[in-house]
Amino acid sequence: MKFLKKLGALALASALTLSNFPMAPVEAKEDSDTSNTAGYSTDVIYQIVTDRFVDGDSSNNPSGEIFDKYDNRKYHGGDWAGITQKISDGYFTNLGVTALWISSPVENIMIIDPSNGCASYHGYWAKDFFRTNSAFGSMDDFQTLVDTAHANGLKIIIDFAPNHTSTAEYDDIYFPEDGALYRDGAFVGSFTNDTQGIFNHEEWIKDYDWLENATYHSMYGLADLNHMNATVDEYLKDAIDMWLDKGVDGIRVDAVKHMPQGWQTNWLSDIYEDHDVFVFGEWYWDPSKPTGEMTNFVNNSGMSLLDFRYSSAVRNAIGSEEDTMDKLYQVMVDTENDYNEVNDQVTFIDNHDMARFMSIGKDGQSSVNQAYVLLLTSRGVPTIYYGSEQYMTGLSDPDNRADMTSFNTNTTAYQVISKLAPLRKTNAALSYGTSEEKWVNDDVLIYERKFGNDVVLTAVNRNENVSYDITGLFTDLPEGSYNDELDGILNGETISVNAKGAVSNFTLNGGECAVWTYTTDEQNVNIGNVDPGMGISGNKISISGRGFGDTQGNVTFGKTEATVLDWSDSLIEVQIPEVAGGKYTITVNTCDGDKDAYDGFRVLTASQVATRFYVNNAETDYGQAVYIVGNCEELGNWDPDRAVGCFFNNTASIANYPTWFFDISLPKGTKLEYKYIKKDSAGNVVWESGANHVYTTVTDGTGIVVDDFNN
């Protein structure tokens, strides 16, 4: 989610005069508090398919053919009242999770899809984003869920699917709802009678790896919303604002690969103006495919992603065992290098769109246990898929979304999670630390995470039948004896560390996993995360980490001081100061004269609007593509290496070569100067000739610009 790279304190050119600091203690929340809604690095998320969890109120169960508890394609009765019951009885608290990700709460169509015989139990066939899914409960039921969660130290994340409504086309099948969209009961538009241009009308996606095709075409006949339509733009901004106003703490955005990134950045910026919340998206990724476009989205969109690269690595190493543990660690290294802020990516071992881990694990329950040890001690924000702690099975949709089978708190997986999840609140190495391999072979991975003086050492032997003698192991754990944080439930033992950091030789038995930790309150100032990862002047952001002290210090963006709203030893909240759009080093200066900095926080020029640019007659040589660069942060500040694009040119209803187009988030009501450029894969640049193009962005809605390329 971030545009940040850590800098050493010695790289700073100057320090601020500390005599101007207010010295009175400031009462503030900690990074581990439920009220910290922007940063989730100390949290563990529990994902729930609401309809399949607990039927707490049978009176809201749908009637007719859409309801059948014996058919996984139909509604089963799970609702918000059921989740609220499990919050109150302590199931989640005892498990150690601190955030619940629930199905999309919005009103869905309540008929059977004639193309596949399915009902909308999953929440992805929206009809009205301003009303609730009646099968899940009323708005009062939803508010009760949120309030009960907060009272029990839990955050609520809603799934949100702004890409589409319901299915509208499939061969010659007639769909009664016609993908219709409503606003609090008032009709907005439908697919086949779309006089306002609410929907895109391209054919189905042909190639999911072709970004242009995947962005503007329909997924499986779902009515694809036209985000560049001003009515749609306003609708989706107002809708998410309504849900956030009810106390929602985070958003999981469905299908981000299938919406224009420029529109999404504009939408996120609008959210961040009023809500400092955590947002992460789903860019579904095939492990055999390139990662460049997905990585670009992680680093530049303004939101985090579900980390499919990490998930795939764990599933291949611990699940099927097709890859070695060394290869798993290499993925951990690669993603730490590729993602500007790796600790904000949301990690998982299974979810509702893939086979459950229990169904692919070569060693069954042991594989699940080992995978959770890795997940909960690795970087990122771990997510538990409901029922995996009960070893539920299911190879594909809808069987991987079956009813919750049990609430047994004595399963080994439940115990593993309950012992490791709370450590993320107390040991900053798990929340913010970097990872380093300490011992590895095909079956064993021992790695260490460290942040400040906090250390966590994890050992996993995936081979149930082979033991390994661990020799030559060194650690940053201080001298002493360390008990396994899992209390030996996966056969872990106590280790000893000498003054030089050498661990006494020991045997890691077949299938054994162990976690050893060191935590101290004696910390130098260290910034962990800055959340959200972008914003405009005046927005609130959260700086989390350790060693800030309990007495308020000072925070700067470049040389400009920010207004401090809250200050504690682990969390600082500030307003982004009045600075020009661009990338800034954020520096925390404590009242003791210590400091730490993050580089590259993105300040947007002003409130944003989505704008579509067309450029005609832009003929290119083979390998060239068209980009735009101009006089603001959003257009790269005239740096061709940061030019926006590449533009698209093969969408029938929008533009075709030699006309190119692209959707961009820009500051509203701002006079821009810009040029188009051509770039090839080697980075060679051909600048457009003639005078700069000039355009003043709209102050509301969405904008359209049409230019001719000056050859």
Q: Annotated active-site positions, please?
A: 254, 282
State the SS3 of 639-708: CHHHCEECCEEEECCCEEEEEEEEEEEEECCCEEEEEEEEECCCCCEEECCCCCEEEECCCCCCEEEEEE
Find tokens 């016609």 and name the residue. Answer: 178
As beta bridge partners, residue 186 has: 183
Instruction: Show the CA angle centred on residue 499, arms to residues 498 and 501, nearest 5°.
Output: 65
Contact predicate 16/554, CB 8 Å: yes
From the list 653, 651, 646, the residue with the least C-alpha distance to 618 is 646
Rounded Cα–Cα distance for residues 229 and 193 (Å): 16
Cα within 13 Å of Cα(588), Cβ side: 32
DSSP, collapsed to helix, strand or coil, labels residue 626 as strand
How are beta strands 45-47 and 99-102 bridged, if at all?
A: parallel
**CA 104, 107, 110, 114 torsion-angle sign:** negative
Structure tokens at 218: 């329909």
Burial readout 235-266 (b: 16 or more C-beta within 10 A, e: otherwise): bbeebbeebbeebbbbbbbbbbbbbbbbbbbb
Main-chain phi, psi angles of 64, to 5 degrees: 85, -160
Contact predicate 156/213, CB 8 Å: no
